[in-house]
């Protein structure tokens, strides 16, 4: 799961001498969130939709024709862009990319390889990643268990119970807190279970019988014949 | 705000910031950011309303010179100059300044300044905020050492390219013919002088000027004297106009004296070209008072607070911003100790033959030194 395989390749880039209103046009036309700013092959900054909109807001608020004129004919990308932006390497893992994004509270990361911009990770790519992980289009049913210590054997035990209850198990995701960084301490984690089944309550009941506390239960609408029980 | 540090790992113990925000400066930062910026930092910590900004430190200046790689050439041009040989001085000075102003800045330094300028713009809620760029000399306070071109001030500079260009011009002001001649005469080594450059949000001044917390003509410490003109304060500082003149009682803040003069010109911004220009004051405004009385009172009150903070008579530059609401629109741009009267020995206020009561009354009138 490397950044290389998830990033948007060959992103549109612009030079720092471009006017901001041109940059904004490129961002809007291509439905982007940010543009890497590249001069002579070297990444110099990042200009985002939010930066452009904020600057435009400052200008419009003055209600001054000269200020507006200055903004649309003189302000360049180099005046507004964030310099020395946070980047990731194409060879980094997506986990690292997510960590960096959360640490800095940013949504656009230029992807570098040998000092050149080869891609970009933005909210679009993050949506794609999450959708793939949850197979959002597959419409799985699911059950979530209250926080547990995920020790060896637990996942297998859960898998056995779910499959014995007649479901086709697809995935089990233990979800911990960002503060629990040491897996050796077996921190408490909620366990999200995703499967195909027309009878989610039966799966939930089987899990509760085995001593697990069920905190969420979702029956997905499935395309096949039996579409009479829809729960959310 | 973070101080941006020099990125060399081996200098971890002695990291000197290349860039420093004014609020991180104090009166002890003169070797780092020069007198002007240090006093702005000190003013901010005293609670005065000062336009925000940052300084390229002397370390930043050294980094600029190192990255430009022109020290050897400069040394060559300066070699064997004589402080009386004005033609050669001018020629060398022009060559050096041309060299400094034409060399591209290193990417790291450019990014440092650019990022600080961007943050300043965001802070001021403006797309590329107009700034004043002024050199801030480290030796300004040495007696008679006013050589480092600290007169260089560029007003209403907007946009990253112009900021970088004028920062370079401030740096090159270290090599004016006058500065070189002075150093030759006094025997200062050329490679040891340093300069800092301040980049400060430009007050969009409606009126501006200077004030003294004593009467500059008589040394009377019971009054505050305000000189004001329309537009930026430069017209008052340079003496190009006869400003409006107010004398305010320091205790009661009453306006004791007002002289409204005919103000023919002022410096202000031409909004179309976004540059500072000298312009004629419209006829109907030439002979009206450029400040309202409330502003005069508030100025005097601020001067009083600044004098209290420094504990000595002060010479203060101020501006009234157009864009800010009344009651919060006065900016303090600079404060320096008043030197003419403060350095003078207090004259005897009572004759030797006077009675004890005469002595007491006269010392009450003249003010007594406590320290």
pLDDT tier at B1, thresholds 50, 70, 90: very low
Coil, helix or strand at residue B38: helix
Q: Which two tokens stand for residue A229?
A: 């029980």
Residue B1 C-alpha from the chain's centroid:
22
Report chain B's mean pLDDT, rounded to a whole number: 85
Q: Distance from first CA to last CA of chain A, Å, rounded? A: 32
CB contact under 8 A, A74 and B118: no
Nearest-Cα residue of chain A relative to residue B323:
A62
Residue A115 C-beta-side C-alpha neighbours within 13 Å: 4
For the residues of A55-115, what is the DSSP string, one character each?
Answer: HHHHHHHHT-HHHHHHHHHT-BHHHHSEES---EETTSBHHHHHHHHHHHT-S-EEEEETT
Nearest residue in chain A measured CA to CA from B121 = A80
Q: B277 - beta bridge partners?
A: B268
Which of these, B165, B178, B132, B138, lies nearest to B35 by C-alpha position?
Answer: B138
Residues of A whose CB is below 8 A from B120: none
Q: Which of B145, B178, B201 is at the close of a domain?
A: B201
Which residues in chain B have their CB less than 8 angstroms from residue A84's CB? Answer: 111, 115
Q: Model pTM?
A: 0.84
Claim to verify: residue B88 and residue B167 sit in the same structural domain? yes
Residue B272 pLDDT > 80: yes
CB contact under 8 A, A59 and B115: no
Q: Which positions of chain A have pLDDT values less than 70?
A: 223-232
Helix axes A200-209, A154-164, angle to 10 degrees: 130
- By a Cβ cutoff of 8 Å, what residues of chain A touch chain B? 20, 42, 44, 54-56, 58-59, 61, 64, 66-67, 69-71, 74-76, 78-84
For B111, which of A56, A67, A83 is closest by C-beta distance?
A: A83
Chain A hits for B126, Cβ within 8 Å: 58
Considering the domain architecture, whether residues B122 and B247 belong to the same structural domain is answered as no
CA distances from A33 to A4, A23, A72, B213, B295 (A): 19, 11, 20, 54, 46
Name chain A contacts of B324, Cβ cutoff 8 Å: none
Provide the domain count of chain B: 2
Which residues on A lie below 8 Å from B131 (Cβ)? none
Identify whether residues B197 and B215 lie together within a single domain.
no
Contacts of residue B163 in chain A, CB cutoff 8 Å? none
A58: chain B residues, CB-CB within 8 Å:
125-127
Q: A12-62: per-residue pLDDT in tens?
A: 999 999 999 999 999 999 999 999 999 999 999 999 999 999 999 999 999
Place of tokens 């030197």: B339
What Rg, from alpha-carbon coordinates, does chain A have?
A: 24
Share of chain B above pLDDT 90, in %: 51
Query: What was the pLDDT predicted at B152?
Result: 77
pLDDT of residue A172: 93
B307 in the same domain as B210 = yes
CA dist B98 and B148 (Å) reads 17
**In sequence order, which residues have a C-beta less than 8 Å from that of residue B90 and are 6 or more positions away?**
B177
B273 Cβ under 8 Å from any chain A Cβ? no
Q: Nearest Cβ partner of A55 from B111, B117, B127?
A: B127
Residues 6+ apart with CB under 8 A from B300: B211, B224, B226, B248, B250, B253
Contact B148, B140 (CB under 8 A): yes
Q: How many CB atoms lie within 10 A of CB A34?
A: 26
Mutation target among B4, B121, B126, B128 for the A interface, most CBs of A within 10 A: B128
What residue of A is the nearest CA neighbor of B273? Answer: A70
Place of tokens 């499935």: A222
Q: Among all residues of chain B, which has the CA nearest to that of A47?
A: B118
Say whether pLDDT at B143 is over 50.
Answer: no
Residue of A nearest to B269 (CA): A66
Do B55 and B37 form a contact (C-beta atoms < 8 A)?
yes
Place of tokens 């070297």: A42
Of B129-138, B164-173, B359-368, which gets the smallest average pLDDT? B359-368
Q: Three-state secondary structure along B157-216?
A: ECCHHHHHHHHHHHHHHHHCHHHHHHHHHHCCCHHHCCEEEEEEECCCEEEEEEEECCCC
Judge contact between B318 and B225, C-beta under 8 A.
no
- Please tell me whether residues B60 and B115 are part of one structural domain: yes
* Rounded to 5°, angle at Cα A172 from A171 and A178: 125
CATH number at residue B40: 3.30.1490.20
The CATH number of residue B246's host domain is 3.30.470.20
B114 to A83: CB separation less than 8 angstroms, yes or no? yes
Q: Give the residue numbers spanning the domain of B139.
A: 2-201
Same domain for B193 and B244, yes or no, is no
From chain B, pick out residues whose CB is under 8 angstroms from the CB of A42: 107
Q: What is the mean pLDDT of residues B153-178?
A: 91
Is residue B173 domain-shared with residue B215, that is, in the same domain? no
Q: What is chain B's alpha carbon radius of gyration, rounded to the nearest angstrom?
A: 23
Q: How many residue pairs bridge chain A and chain B with CB atoms within 8 Å of each other?
A: 54
Tell whether B216 lies on the interface with A, counting CB pairs under 8 A.
no
Are the C-beta atoms of residues B154 and B134 closer than 8 Å to each other?
Answer: yes
Q: Which of residues 136-155 of B touch A (CB under 8 A)?
A: none
**Rounded to a whole number, what is the distance in Å from the CA of A195 to chain B's nearest CA?**
49
Residue of A nearest to B124 (CA): A58
Residue B21 inside a domain? The answer is: yes
B316 shares a domain with B275:
yes
Q: What residues does B359 pair with on adjacent strands?
A: none
Question: B197 with B253, same domain?
Answer: no
Return the beta strands (E) in chain B as ranges.
19-21, 53-56, 131-137, 153-157, 195-201, 205-212, 223-230, 244-249, 255-259, 265-270, 275-280, 314-321, 330-337
Quickly state the pLDDT bin for B12 (edges 50, 70, 90).
Answer: very low
| HEC profile of B274-310 | CEEEEEECCHHHHCCCCCCHHHHHHHHHHHHHHHHHH
pLDDT category at B88 given cuts 50, 70, 90 is confident
Report how far residue A91's alpha carbon sits from residue A106's, in angstroms, rounded to the nearest whole number: 20
In a domain, B333, yes or no: yes
What is the CA angle A17-A21-A22, rounded to 5?
Answer: 65
Domain-ending residue, one of B182, B201, B220 = B201
Phi then psi for residue A14, to 5 deg, are -135, 165
Q: CA A37 from chain center: how many Å?
A: 23
Q: What is the mean pLDDT of residues B287-309?
A: 93
Structure tokens belonging to residue A220:
């997905």
| Ranges A45-49, B150-154, B310-314, B348-352, most confident | A45-49
Q: Is A47 helix (H, G, I), strand (E, B) or coil?
A: strand
A82 contacts in chain B (CB < 8 Å): 115, 118
Is residue B40 domain-shared with residue B61, that is, in the same domain?
Answer: yes
Query: Out of A109-123, B117-131, B356-370, which region has the weakest mean confidence (pLDDT)?
Result: B356-370
Residue of A nearest to B159 (CA): A79
Q: Identify the pLDDT of residue A230.
A: 54
What does residue A223 show for φ and ψ, rounded to 5 degrees? -60, -40
CA-CA-CA-CA dihedral for B145, B149, B151, B156, to nearest 10: -150
Q: Does residue B85 lie in a domain region? A: yes
- Cα separation of A59 and A67, whole Å? 6
CA nearest to B118, candidates A100, A82, A229: A82
Most A CBs within 10 Å: which of B127, B129, B163, B270, as the mutation test of the A interface? Answer: B127
Q: Within the 252-271 window of chain B, which residues sit less than 8 Å (CB to CB) from chain A?
A: 271
Highest mean pLDDT among B82-96, B175-189, B199-213: B199-213
Residue B370 lies in a domain: no
Among B163, B180, B201, identify where a domain stops.
B201
Q: Hey, how many other C-beta atoms are within 10 angstroms of the C-beta on B18?
A: 24
B371 located within any domain:
no
Listed in sequence order, the residues at least 6 apart from B357 whose beta carbon sits closer than 8 Å to its beta carbon are none
* B139-159: average pLDDT: 65
pLDDT at B369 over 60: no
Residue B156 inside a domain? The answer is yes
Structure-token pair, residue B314 = 């002060």
State the pLDDT confidence band at B349, using cuts at 50, 70 and 90. Answer: low
Q: Which backbone phi and psi does B366 adopt, to 5 degrees?
A: -85, -15
The candidate with the shortest Cα–Cα distance to B268, out of B322, B330, B326, is B322
A82/B115 Cβ within 8 A:
yes
User: Looking at the domain assignment, is residue B123 inside a domain?
Assistant: yes
Please tell me the predicted confidence (pLDDT) of residue B52.
95
In this structure, what is the dihedral angle of CA atoms B48, B54, B58, B59, given to the nearest 10 degrees? 130
CB contact under 8 A, B127 and A76: no
| Strand, coil or helix: A161 | helix
Q: How many helices (H) and strands (E) does chain B have?
A: 11, 13
Same domain (yes/no): B136, B164: yes
Residues B88 and B111 in one domain: yes
For chain B, the farthest-separated pair of C-alpha atoms sits apart, in whole angstroms, at 74
What's the complex ipTM? Answer: 0.82
- pLDDT digits over B29-65, tens only? 888 998 889 999 999 999 999 999 999 999 999 999 8
Q: Can you tell me the distance from the alpha carbon of A174 to that of A161, in angstroms, rounded to the nearest whole number?
A: 16
């Amino acid at each position: 799961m490397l950044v290389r395989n998830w990033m948007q390749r060959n992103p549109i880039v612009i030079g720092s001498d471009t006017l901001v209103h041109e940059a904004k046009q490129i961002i809007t036309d291509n439905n982007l969130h940010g543009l890497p700013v590249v001069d002579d092959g070297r990444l110099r900054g990042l200009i985002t939709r939010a930066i452009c909109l904020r600057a435009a807001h400052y200008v419009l608020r003055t209600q001054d024709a000269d200020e507006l004129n200055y903004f649309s004919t003189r302000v360049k990308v180099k005046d507004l862009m964030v310099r020395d932006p946070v980047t990731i390497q194409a060879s980094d893992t997506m986990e690292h990319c997510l960590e960096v994004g959360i640490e800095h509270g940013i949504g656009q990361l230029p992807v570098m390889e040998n000092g050149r911009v080869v891609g970009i990770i933005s909210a679009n790519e993050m949506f794609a990643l999450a959708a793939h992980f949850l197979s959002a289009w597959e419409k799985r049913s699911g059950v979530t268990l209250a926080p547990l210590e995920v020790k060896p054997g637990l996942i297998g035990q859960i898998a056995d119970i779910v499959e014995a209850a007649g479901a086709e198990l697809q995935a089990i995701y233990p979800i911990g807190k960002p503060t629990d960084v040491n897996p050796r301490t077996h921190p408490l984690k909620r366990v999200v279970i995703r499967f195909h089944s027309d009878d989610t309550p039966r799966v939930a009941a089987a899990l509760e019988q085995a001593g697990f506390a069920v905190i969420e239960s979702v029956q997905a609408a499935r395309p096949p014949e039996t579409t009479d029980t829809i729960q959310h | 705000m973070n101080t941006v540090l020099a990125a060399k790992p081996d200098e971890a113990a002695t990291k000197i910031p290349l860039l420093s925000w004014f609020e991180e400066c104090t009166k002890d930062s003169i070797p780092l950011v020069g007198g002007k910026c240090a006093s702005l930092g000190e003013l901010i910590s005293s609670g005065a309303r000062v336009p925000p900004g940052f300084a390229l430190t002397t370390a930043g200046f050294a980094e600029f010179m190192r990255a430009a790689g022109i020290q050897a050439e400069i040394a060559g041009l300066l070699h064997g100059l004589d402080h009386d040989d004005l033609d050669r001085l001018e020629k060398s000075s022009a060559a050096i300044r041309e060299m400094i102003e034409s060399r591209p800045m290193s990417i790291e330094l450019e990014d440092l300044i650019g990022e600080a300028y961007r943050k300043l713009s965001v802070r001021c809620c403006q797309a590329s905020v107009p700034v004043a760029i002024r050199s801030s000399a480290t030796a300004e306070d040495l007696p008679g050492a006013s050589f480092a071109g600290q007169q260089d001030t560029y007003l209403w500079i907007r946009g990253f390219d112009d900021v970088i260009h004028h920062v370079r011009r401030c740096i090159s002001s270290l090599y004016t013919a006058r500065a070189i001649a002075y150093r030759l005469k006094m025997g200062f080594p050329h490679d040891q002088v340093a300069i800092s450059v301040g980049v400060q949000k430009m007050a969009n001044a409606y009126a501006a000027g200077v004030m003294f917390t004593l009467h500059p003509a008589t040394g009377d410490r019971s009054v505050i004297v305000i000189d004001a003109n329309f537009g930026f304060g430069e017209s008052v500082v340079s003496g190009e106009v006869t400003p409006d003149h107010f004398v305010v009682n320091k205790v009661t803040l009453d306006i004791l004296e007002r002289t409204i003069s005919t103000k023919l010109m002022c410096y202000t911004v031409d909004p179309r070209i976004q540059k500072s220009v000298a312009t004629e004051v419209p006829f109907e405004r030439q002979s009206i008072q450029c400040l309202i009385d409330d502003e005069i009172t508030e100025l005097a009150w601020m001067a009083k607070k600044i004098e209290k903070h420094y504990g000595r008579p002060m010479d203060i530059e101020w501006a009234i911003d157009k864009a800010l609401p009344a009651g919060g629109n006065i900016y303090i741009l600079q404060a320096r100790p008043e030197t003419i009267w403060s350095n003078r020995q207090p004259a005897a206020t009572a004759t030797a033959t006077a009675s004890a009561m005469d002595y007491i009354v006269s010392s009450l009138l003249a003010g007594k030194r406590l320290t």
